[in-house]
A and B are shown apart, each in its own frame.
Chain A
Amino acid sequence: PSRVGPTPHHLYNGQAALAFQSASPGLPRMSERPPLRPGLVPSAPQVTSEKLCRAQQELHFQAATYLCLLRSVREHGALHQEYHGKGERSPEEVAGLVGFRLPQQPGGKG
């Protein structure tokens, strides 16, 4: 994985690798950066510009929103399956709902 920050525009063959990797272990969060010792010149640019900061916040929000979408759809589906979806009814069951029986059964409507 590249050193570049998370990007929503990388595509990996249709997989949702939208790289919402604000939780990625490879990417140090700003709060985890060690404090700069006085007199020490950093070799890599520090993430201090407001523009980059805001972009990261926006990306984090987007990631959190997408996660909420995926999680909610999954949870809703699970609840639907358990409590609403009794599976597709067979024609026999549906006929039974309205008080009919199918012709295969001799005697018809009881």
Chain B
Amino acid sequence: GWRRLLEVVPPLVTQWHAAVCATKRKRFYQNVSISQGEGGFEINLDHRKLKTPQGKLFTVPSEALAIAVATEWDSQKDTIKFYTMHLTTLCNTALDNPTQRNKMQLIHAAVKFLETDTVCYRVEEPAALAELQRDEWDPVVAWAEKRYNVAIGSSTSILGPNIPASTKETFVSHLASYNMWALQGIEYVITQLKSLILSMGLIDRHITVEKAVLLSRLEEEYQIQRWGSVEWAHDYDLCELRARTAAGTLFVHLCSESSTVKHKLLQD
């Protein structure tokens, strides 16, 4: 009866407990280093070479990115907190491509966000929020229109702005100039910020991560100012979004740069 249940349940509970905590694992390595292999830069945890979740050898095209990833691993204390290792996660996504999307599919997914771009979706009420949106979002929309020579606009309609086909084609063309790794990063940032325009602002170094996140969360910030917030919860979400956005942006830039150019400048 229930006595038998009490013998069976605790091991099950322990198993369930362990399964729930699978996002953490004890740090099992002492030293972290990077090395250069045929496919790119690799991460070494003691003598082991890091692998992706699908078992592929973890290789990255950029040395600086490899160092940053190695730093994530070296920063772990007793338990490995995978949810804090954003650059590692981005590299794993680029290597494994779990959603199995090709370059064109990624690009179209990214550009599709323009139809529901945060900074184009405006409220009519309350008036104070509508004004805040105009003050804070109009400049960045104007910047994107000028920078890319496109028409975007904004809308209070529930359907969102009507983006001309030529505008979408321009962005598709532009994004096609990025390699697959950088594109994974761009699409990631867009998903986090819910805005293609803010993401391009970051990629083009027109705005900082802090500013992009603030603009992405403008309505939340407005509500918090009006109604107050559970401070730590607000900061928690804010820090998380900043971390992910910063990681994505850094990832894009590190995957896009050419090391040859840098070396030439160093000789000046």
A→B interface (CB under 8 Å) = 4-5, 7-9, 11, 13-16, 18, 45, 51-52, 55, 57-58, 61-62, 64-66, 68-69, 72-73, 75-77, 79-80, 82-84, 88-89, 91, 94-95, 98, 100-103, 108-109
Contact = CB atoms under 8 A, between A and B. Distances in A.
Query: What's the dominant secondary structure at chain A's contact region?
Result: helix
Contacts of B63: 9, 11
Contacts, number: 125
Interface of B: 2-3, 6-7, 9-10, 13-14, 16-17, 21, 31-34, 63-64, 67-68, 70-71, 74, 81, 84, 86-87, 205, 208-210, 232-233, 235-236, 239-240, 242-243, 246-247, 249-250, 253, 259, 262, 265-266, 268
10 contacts: A65-B208, A65-B253, A66-B68, A73-B243, A77-B84, A83-B236, A89-B17, A94-B17, A108-B3, A109-B2
Given A13-B33, A68-B209, A94-B13, A62 B235 contact: no
Contacts of B21: 88
Nearest to A102: B10
A89 B14 CA distance: 10
A58 B14 CA distance: 50
Contact of B250 (A16, A62, A84, A89): A62
A66 B65 CA distance: 11
Contacts of A5: 265-266
A88 to B, nearest CB: 7
Contacts of B10: 91, 95, 100, 102-103
- Secondary structure of the B side of the interface? helix
B67 A11 contact: yes
Contacts of B266: 4-5, 7
Nearest to A59: B262
Contact of B246 (A45, A65, A88, A98): A65
Nearest to B3: A108
Given A65-B246, A100-B13, A79 B232 contact: yes
Contacts of A13: 33
B246 A69 contact: yes
B250 A65 contact: yes
A69 B68 CA distance: 11
Given A52-B268, A68-B209, A75 B239 contact: yes
A73 B86 contact: yes
Contact of B9 (A52, A68, A80, A100): A100
B239 A79 contact: yes
B160 to A, nearest CB: 29
Contacts of A88: 21
B33 A69 contact: no
B207 to A, nearest CB: 10
A58 B202 CA distance: 12
Contacts of B249: 65
A36 B65 CA distance: 39
B266 to A, nearest CB: 6
